[in-house]
Amino acid sequence: MVVIQRAVLRDPLFLTGLSLRVALILVATPLSHEVWFIPFLQNLGAGGFIDPWAAHLAVGGTPMAFPYGPVMLAILAPGVLLGTAIDHLAPGLGAARLGLALTVLALDLAMLRTILRLAPGRRRACVGLYWLSPLVPYICYWHGQLDVVPVLLLLNGLIILAARRMVLAGALLALAVSAKLSMAIGVPFFAIYLISDKRLRPLAPRYWAAFLVIITLLQAPQLLSPAAVEMVFGTPEAAKLYSLAVSFGQGLEVYVVPVAYLLILYATWRVKRISFELLTALLGIGFVLILVLTPASPGWFMWALPFLVLYQLRSGPSGIALVAAFSAMFVGFHLMTSTGARLILTDFDLGQPLASLVVLPQRAIPLVLSLLVATGLILSIQLVREGVLRNDYFRLSRRPLLIGIAGDSGSGKDTLAEVMIGLFGQRSVAHVSGDDYHLWDRHKPLWQVMTHLNPRANNLSQFNRDVRDLANGRAIRSRHYDHATGRMTKPRLVPGSDVVIASGLHALYSPEICECYNLKIFLDMDEMLRRHLKIQRDTTRRGQPVEKVVRSIESRYPDCRRYIHPQAERADIVFSLQPLHPITDDGFVPFNEKLPLKLKVALRPGMHYENVVRILIALCGMHVDVLVNEATNATEVTVEGEVDAEDIAMAVRELVPQMDELLDFAPRWQGGNLGIMQLFVITGAVDALRRR
């Protein structure tokens, strides 16, 4: 049973739409129901279960009667067969007719509920845009088409796919196609969606396995029935896709719809990474173009309607007006040219198209069709502009997100890179480390002559080339410097990804590589804290004697001042981790002691930080000071206090909800200062991506 919130059921708008539907069911019976669908379905009762299509043709039924698959049959038959049985008991009740109409009403309510699930919090808008649209009463209750069935299955398959319940989602897509073959139009869009999102790729085999098993089980028997092949696969409806052709002369024709459809698929393929919202927009564009470029049956509009509702919810009054105009043209055109309904208990038969009942002005039909095509094309352009090009996610994900992280040895570059990889997901990030571009390893004599902090001790031109290649989505081959052995390993393939993190001593050194980054970060950790943490790391994790590490820190300090620290001027964000209590020269801090820290965040002029500060105070309960550095005009935000990972996750969802689909399914949020860094990096990245 379709469960719709009580608030909707009590909504006057809903009750108005329901009254209209019930009135139509009571007073009108669509010609298509009476002449095609009900007789076909009643054959099942006459022993047509084995091969309903053959049984129908055997009694002289028309091949046009039921060009649908077994799922449509299974969903619609119970109401009709029950009604037929009741009619046998009480002739003249019209229960079979009511059985079909009430089944359609139940599916219509399920469609409303599905749309409400797709647009949570937009209850009245969804009721207004779907339930009160004249399209649905016209298509389902006057003209009498059944497309609400496959579209409902397709839409729920989308929702289940977004929830990553892959087997059920694949099965629902198969059910949609087995209800009406034209839903196969959507299959390539789903395939591109599953390929484009690296997070979904491991889950895709289950999806397609379920799809193929269900579609085979349901469609194979139909292929064995010549009658089904004639009525379903050979339906004249399919020929409409080829009706618009461009003649190349010499009897050659190019079909416009297949060309347009392939162009839309190509454009979809070019969208680097498709969010759920983008997928619904692209599917809507595909369906609307088919409506515009073919003499589409009224039922075909149901394919696009849910996506048009979502478009209107996002676009507001202009989109609503445009869809209303397109809908009005569509209904007007089909009232004139398509079958309608007979009024019950009267002889008033509007089953035939208006054009055959009354004399219309000569140009009425072509004029309305022209307006229909014009409004449809304008709507398609708007769907592309507003549904795709202006889609935040589309703009964020068209090219890889590039983040550069520079800082002295031990300042936290790898740590920050790792916590950001934990957010985006290993599959979606290409990490390039400056250490892998040292010109010599620890065992070479030059190691004793020139420190690695000197740019000339590193192959920075190769580093820059590799970052640029990754920025263009190309894979690179990069060696790896193993700090445990002090040697370079063999080159390994680093594939292009949605996010590129380039961290290293000189990651912001060359101006031209800085132009590649969307976000530039410099780590300027308190010097005593850095020494403490570097000594702790190099002795415990890199097996180096304390004396050697201390000597190295001292000997490299001049190069650090000369080559590393100046990079801070190029950064968008400078993170400076500070101990709450200064570490004095002789104040040795035991490695296992957790140092209370605070984080200073210097943001270059123009970086938006107000909302971040608001959230850190209001939601995370942090103590935050904001200062503007008069010299650099940079904003310095000092953050103190404890924050847990869940609060950081909530803060990011509040500040940049559109990032959700760019992050991993289970992003690894951090608490403490690393979580605050995650927050500033994510919001800074979205800011930068919106500007590009």
Ligand X SMILES: O=C(COP(=O)(O)O)[C@H](O)[C@H](O)COP(=O)(O)O
Ligand Y SMILES: Nc1ncnc2c1ncn2[C@@H]1O[C@H](COP(=O)(O)OP(=O)(O)O)[C@@H](O)[C@H]1O
Per-position x/- string for 170-209, each x denoting binding to ligand Y as judged by CB under 6 A, each - no binding: ----------------------------------------
**Interface region with ligand X, contact rule CB under 6 A, candidates 140-148, 168-176, 354-362, 410-418:** 410-418
By CB under 6 A, residue 435 contacts ligand X: yes
By CB under 6 A, residue 526 contacts ligand X: no
- Residues 596, 623: contact at Cβ < 8 Å? no
Judged by CB under 6 A, the chain residues 52 through 91 that form the site for ligand Y are none
| 93: CB partners within 8 A, 6+ apart | 86, 87
Residue of the chain from 222, 235, 382, 409 that contacts ligand X (CB under 6 A)? 409
DSSP state of 665: S
Please state, in angstroms and rounded to a whole number, the distance separating the CA atoms of residues 53 and 389: 46
Q: In sequence order, what DSSP letters do the residues of 581-604 get, joined into one string? A: SPPPTT----TTS---EEEEEEE-
- Residues 598, 640: contact at Cβ < 8 Å? yes
Please state, in angstroms and rounded to a whole number, the distance separating the CA atoms of residues 656 and 678: 12
Per partner kind, with CB cut-offs from 5 to 8 A, the member of ligand X, ligand Y, none near residue 435 is ligand X
Residue of the chain from 407, 422, 425, 667 that contacts ligand Y (CB under 6 A)? 407
Looking at the Cβ atoms of 280 and 411, the one nearer to ligand X is: 411
Burial degree of 389 (CB within 10 A; 0-12, 13-18, 19+)? exposed
| 446: CB partners within 8 A, 6+ apart | 439, 440, 457
- Residues 252, 343: contact at Cβ < 8 Å? no
Structure tokens at 218: 């349901």
Per partner kind, with CB cut-offs from 5 to 8 A, the member of ligand Y, ligand X, none near residue 668 is none
How many other β-carbons are positioned within 10 Å of the β-carbon of residue 9?
Answer: 11
Looking at the Cβ atoms of 153 and 577, the one nearer to ligand Y is: 577
Per-position x/- string for 19-38, each x denoting binding to ligand X as judged by CB under 6 A, each - no binding: --------------------
Burial degree of 266 (CB within 10 A; 0-12, 13-18, 19+)? exposed
**Interface region with ligand X, contact rule CB under 6 A, candidates 211-219, 247-255, 408-416, 560-568:** 408-416
Closest to 232 measured CA to CA, from 355, 53, 468: 53
Q: Which residues on neighbouring strands pair with residue 601, listed in sequence order?
A: 575, 637
Per-position x/- string for 534-573, each x denoting binding to ligand X as judged by CB under 6 A, each - no binding: --------x-------------------------------
Structure tokens at 392: 């935040």
E strands of 534-652, at which residues? 573-579, 597-603, 623-628, 635-640
Residue found under tokens 């790391």: 537
Residue of the chain from 197, 414, 469, 687 that contacts ligand Y (CB under 6 A)? 414
How many other β-carbons are positioned within 10 Å of the β-carbon of residue 458?
Answer: 24
**Cβ-proximal residue to ligand X, closest one:** 409
Please state, in angstroms and rounded to a whole number, the distance separating the CA atoms of residues 677 and 487: 31
Looking at the Cβ atoms of 219 and 409, the one nearer to ligand X is: 409
Looking at the Cβ atoms of 237 and 466, the one nearer to ligand X is: 466
Please state, in angstroms and rounded to a whole number, the distance separating the CA atoms of residues 432 and 400: 14
Name the minimum Å distance from CB 671 to ligand X: 24
By CB under 6 A, residue 533 contacts ligand Y: yes
Looking at the Cβ atoms of 222 and 409, the one nearer to ligand Y is: 409
- Residues 497, 401: contact at Cβ < 8 Å? no
Q: Phi and psi dihedrals of 245, rounded to 5?
A: -135, 155
Looking at the Cβ atoms of 382 and 411, the one nearer to ligand Y is: 411
By CB under 6 A, residue 442 contacts ligand X: yes
Looking at the Cβ atoms of 42 and 503, the one nearer to ligand X is: 503
Please state, in angstroms and rounded to a whole number, the distance separating the CA atoms of residues 388 and 285: 10
By CB under 6 A, residue 641 contacts ligand X: no
**Interface region with ligand Y, contact rule CB under 6 A, candidates 216-224, 405-413, 452-460, 646-654:** 405-413
Per partner kind, with CB cut-offs from 5 to 8 A, the member of ligand Y, ligand X, none near residue 506 is none
**Interface region with ligand X, contact rule CB under 6 A, candidates 112-120, 226-234, 282-290, 405-413:** 405-413
- Residues 237, 338: contact at Cβ < 8 Å? no
By CB under 6 A, residue 412 contacts ligand Y: yes
Judged by CB under 6 A, the chain residues 576 through 615 that form the site for ligand Y are 577
Q: Give the number of residues in contact with ligand X, rule: CB under 6 A.
A: 12
By CB under 6 A, residue 674 contacts ligand Y: yes
**Interface region with ligand X, contact rule CB under 6 A, candidates 59-67, 102-110, 420-428, 434-442:** 434-442
**Interface region with ligand Y, contact rule CB under 6 A, candidates 21-29, 207-215, 403-411, 446-454:** 403-411
Closest to 63 measured CA to CA, from 31, 97, 34, 40: 40
Per partner kind, with CB cut-offs from 5 to 8 A, the member of ligand Y, ligand X, none near residue 684 is none
**Interface region with ligand Y, contact rule CB under 6 A, candidates 101-109, 178-186, 356-364, 407-415:** 407-415
Please list the helix, strand and coil fractions of the chain in percent, rounded to the nearest 5, in that order. Answer: 60, 10, 25
Judged by CB under 6 A, the chain residues 447 through 486 that form the site for ligand X are 452, 483, 486
By CB under 6 A, residue 675 contacts ligand Y: no
Looking at the Cβ atoms of 414 and 687, the one nearer to ligand Y is: 414
How many other β-carbons are positioned within 10 Å of the β-carbon of residue 356?
Answer: 11
- Residues 288, 379: contact at Cβ < 8 Å? yes
How many other β-carbons are positioned within 10 Å of the β-carbon of residue 86?
Answer: 16
Residue of the chain from 673, 681, 683, 689 that contacts ligand Y (CB under 6 A)? 673
Name the minimum Å distance from CB 424 to ligand X: 21
Please state, in angstroms and rounded to a whole number, the distance separating the CA atoms of residues 159 and 657: 18
Please state, in angstroms and rounded to a whole number, the distance separating the CA atoms of residues 395 and 398: 6
Looking at the Cβ atoms of 230 and 640, the one nearer to ligand Y is: 640
Looking at the Cβ atoms of 136 and 533, the one nearer to ligand X is: 533
Looking at the Cβ atoms of 241 and 674, the one nearer to ligand Y is: 674
Looking at the Cβ atoms of 112 and 560, the one nearer to ligand X is: 560
By CB under 6 A, residue 411 contacts ligand Y: yes
Per partner kind, with CB cut-offs from 5 to 8 A, the member of ligand X, ligand Y, none near residue 570 is none
How many other β-carbons are positioned within 10 Å of the β-carbon of residue 357?
Answer: 13
Question: Between the CA of residue 262 and those of 66, 185, 187, 189, what are the distances in Å?
Answer: 29, 11, 13, 11
Per-position x/- string for 130-149, each x denoting binding to ligand X as judged by CB under 6 A, each - no binding: --------------------
Residue of the chain from 329, 505, 564, 583 that contacts ligand X (CB under 6 A)? 505
Please state, in angstroms and rounded to a whole number, the distance separating the CA atoms of residues 387 and 600: 39
By CB under 6 A, residue 556 contacts ligand Y: no
Residue 407: its H or E element: strand 401-407
Name the minimum Å distance from CB 452 to ligand Y: 11
| Distance in angstroms between the alpha carbons of the first and the last residue of the chain | 48
Site for ligand Y, rule CB under 6 A: 407, 409-415, 533-534, 536-537, 577, 673-674
Site for ligand X, rule CB under 6 A: 409-410, 413-414, 435, 438, 442, 452, 483, 486, 505, 542
